[in-house]
Amino acid sequence: TTNAIAEHFTPGTHGTTYGGNPLASAVALRVLEIVSRPEVLAGVGTRHARFVAGLTALGDKYGIFKDIRGKGLLLGCELQGKLEGAARDVLLAAEAEGLMVLQAGPGVVRLAPALVIEDQDIDEGLARLDRALARIA
């Protein structure tokens, strides 16, 4: 960076092991080029719709999702009712089913699958989430 910008950084506010080196920068640029292709973006849109439909069905089945939001395949399911504020419980139940989900605060279950996840893996993940929710909902 320049000295003018660097003077605003205090120790500990910015750091990275590999960021900014020529190889990491070249790889990042290539990833952006690939992910930005129309066919990749279309696939993400199709997968998004599949996830939202499946999550909506699970939310309706158990009455637990106040909102399903997000862009692409970064999705958040806001919990309500019996599971309001219990994202950690959902995370642990999903883990017991061999499914990794995340939480975004105490009331939102977050999903962040690969942009190229296969349909059968989406369906399997939703089935595992269904089993996890059946345990606790």
Mean pLDDT confidence for 47-63: 98
Asked if residue 88 lies in contact with residue 98, where contact means CB atoms within 8 angstroms, the answer is no
Asked if residue 121 lies in contact with residue 51, where contact means CB atoms within 8 angstroms, the answer is no
**Stated pTM of the model:** 0.81
CA end-to-end distance (rounded Å), the chain: 51
Ordered alpha helix ranges (H), 19-110: 22-35, 38-62, 87-96
Is a pLDDT exceeding 90 seen at residue 19? no
Q: Which has more pLDDT, 25 or 89?
A: 89
Domain spans, the chain: 41-136
Backbone phi, psi, residue 69, to 5°: -135, 165
CATH topology of domain 41-136: Aspartate Aminotransferase, domain 1 (3.90.1150)
